[in-house]
Structure 1
Amino acid sequence: MSLAKCFALIQYPVPHHLLSRLVGKLAECRQPWLKNALIRAFIKRFKVDMREAVEPDPTAYATFNDFFTRKLKPDARPLGEGLLCPADGTLSQFGAIEADRLLQAKGHRFSMADLLGGDEEAARRYRGGSYANIYLSPRDYHRVHMPLGGSLTEMVYVPGRLFSVNAATTDHVPNLFARNERLVCHFDTEHGRMVVVLVGAMIVAAIETVWAGQITPLSGQVQRIRFDTPVRLERGEEMGRFKLGSTVVMAFAGPVGFDDTLAPKTKVTMGQSLGGFPSLALIER
């Protein structure tokens, strides 16, 4: 048995939420000697480039979480053309949504309906559309931005486990993104419906959005919030952030022409162009 498979299997009995909450409390510690030691060790271990940050001094952050969700300089991530990458990370998989199925990793697919918290009606909007999964490693910039301008119409919190979402786990844990705790954000855009799913993971203490603050953890039930007055966010604008690493899954009702230079496991940065749309016409599903 490979080390990667062993790592995936030993996560099943681990108390994911308890471990994540304990790490979350540590990440909010304000004792200077402790939080500075944690930050310096993290920068050294993951080779974080602090020159990109608005505040390059590691000791200036009040907590480890403040450092982890640090803001970058305005010119650090220029916006490209067409569809934008929403975060720094690895483009793990992307392509067409085939019969309601998205590719997680070789040999593993998951359903759109399961990803959206069992919402079959919403899943039907994306049949024939496209998707992309972006994995954020610990060293990456952890704010998530809008791939397109859009109006938020509904937010759905879906409870679940908190498996790691690194390559070893995605290769060996079926339906991973549809198992983990996640926040589903539905948008209307000029290219049709778009959904951006912020997937929680091991030791991710919380997910925050710019419109509602901290979202997770909530309860053990699916919670839906409709916005009678949609929240408008522009292309490239921040929409949320992870407190420690995770994955973004985004899907579109229409087909996306992904850039020919992209391939699974490609490193990407927030604001990078991922491709474009064949038509500007609004696609109703």
Structure 2
Amino acid sequence: MDKLKVNLQYIMPKHALSRLVGSFAASESGALTTAFIKWFIKRYNINMEEAQEPSPEAYRTFNEFFTRPLKPGLRPIAEDKDIVIQPVDGCVSQAGAIENGRLFQAKGHDYSLQALLAGTHEDEAKFMDGDFTTVYLSPTDYHRVHMPMAGTLRKMIYVPGDLFSVNPLTTANVPGLFARNERVVTIFDTEQGPMAMVLVGATIVASIGTVWAGTVTPPTGPQVHSWEYPAEGDNAIHLEKGAELGHFKLGSTIIALFGKDMLEKFDDDFTPGATTRLGKPMAKLD
């Protein structure tokens, strides 16, 4: 049965299905929207007491509900300068070293740093022999993405691709999954070195957006697009640790990359299968 579920993803019209769902998620459909939100809350056991606005009736669209902000102060940020924080609510898929330019996906599968970033050789070189973590966001989770540490944005890359599911079953069975799915790569300078946050799309993900550019996708396209940003001046984009970076409209995965020798180690309890919560310690800087 699991093999059938994975194989069906190769032939189903994932982009068309995702955009169709996206159209409904963005629509203001009154009682229908509210009824669907209530079903979704019950189906995925979502704790609306954490939401800044706990009432389902308060949301005009499903997207508003899905990207709902949390109550202020609910996720305190670990303030120690040596601590890198967890950037999302989710579940750790992998955490470890980037070895020979490759990242571990699941047993029997890895993929290249170059393929993931789809940028220049200089982009790839920033993270050679560095560290990475992959965190899966389920439908239950809060779907805004935050900064693990303070940084200045230097580059954003939109990478077209497929829209396979990124759930654990698919991750374990589709080779090079994260380097073949549609994604938005963001690269930052930090005081300790380079950091990248990669927002990976998936089946039914209606949109990926950032706080500086708004919606990056859709629309989709056949070519890679990149934008560069200044390190200094009035147009520089600097985000503090814990600041919001972007969001998913429907769930997916983030991959955080860190340059060589930036991290001393990941926390002992930050291991595959562990639950993540925004603001808690993830790693210690070297």
Normalising by structure 1, we get a TM-score of: 0.95
1:14 aligns with: 12
Q: What is the SS of the residue equivalent to 2:229?
A: strand
Structure 1 Cα separation of the partners of residues 91 and 121 of structure 2: 29
Pairing partner for 1:63 from 61, 66, 84: 61
Kindly provide the amino acid, as one letter, of the partner of residue 169 in structure 2.
Answer: A
Determine the structure 2 residue equivalent to 1:207: 208
Q: 2:273 maps to which residue?
A: 265
Match of 1:227 among 226, 229, 240: 229
Whole-angstrom CA distance in 2 between matches of 1:44 and 1:249: 29
Give the aligned residue type for 1:36: T
* Alignment match, 2:22: 24
Secondary structure, aligned partner of 2:49? helix
* CA distance in 1: counterparts of 2:203 and 2:280, whole angstroms: 27
Distance, in Å, in 1 between the alignment partners of 2:142 and 2:116 is: 24
Write the letter of the residue equivalent to 2:84.
L
For residue 254 of structure 1, report the CA deviation from its aligned partner. 2.7
Paired residues of 2:44 and 2:140 also in contact (CA < 8 A): yes
1:211-236 CA distances to partner (integer Å, 9 max, x unpaired)?
A: 01000023211001111343101100
Q: Secondary structure of 1:11's match?
A: helix
Instruction: Indicate if the aligned counterparts of 1:94 and 1:133 stay in contact, CA closer than 8 A.
Output: yes
Output the CA distance in 1 between the equivalents of 2:228 and 2:179. Answer: 21
Partner of 1:36: 34
Q: Number of paired residues? A: 276
> Alignment partner for residue 78 of structure 1, among 55, 76, 90?
76
Rounded to whole Å, the distance in 2 between the matches of 1:114 and 1:140 is 28
Structure 1 residue 89 and structure 2 residue 90: aligned?
yes
Amino acid at match of 1:54: Q
Equivalent residue number for residue 276 of structure 1: 284
1:123–1:210 CA distance, 2 compared to 1 (3 A): same
Matches of 1:102 and 1:46, distance apart in 2: 31
Gaps of 5+ in 1: 279-285
Query: Does the aligned pair in 2 maintain the 1:5–1:169 contact within 8 Å?
Result: no
Amino acid at match of 1:270: L
Q: 1:10 offset after TM fit, Å?
A: 0.8
CA distance in 1, matches of 2:127, 2:116: 12
Are 2:278 and 1:253 equivalent residues in the alignment? no
Deviation at 1:202? 0.3
Gapped regions of structure 2 (runs ≥ 5): none
Counterpart of 1:170 in structure 2 is 171
Deviations 1:124-145 (A, max 9, x none): 2211210000100000000000
* Structure 1: 4+ residue segments shifted above 6 A: none
> What is the rounded CA distance, in whole Å, between the counterparts of 1:8 and 1:38 in structure 2?
27
CA drift at 1:118: 5.0
Structure 1 residue 31: Cα displacement: 1.6
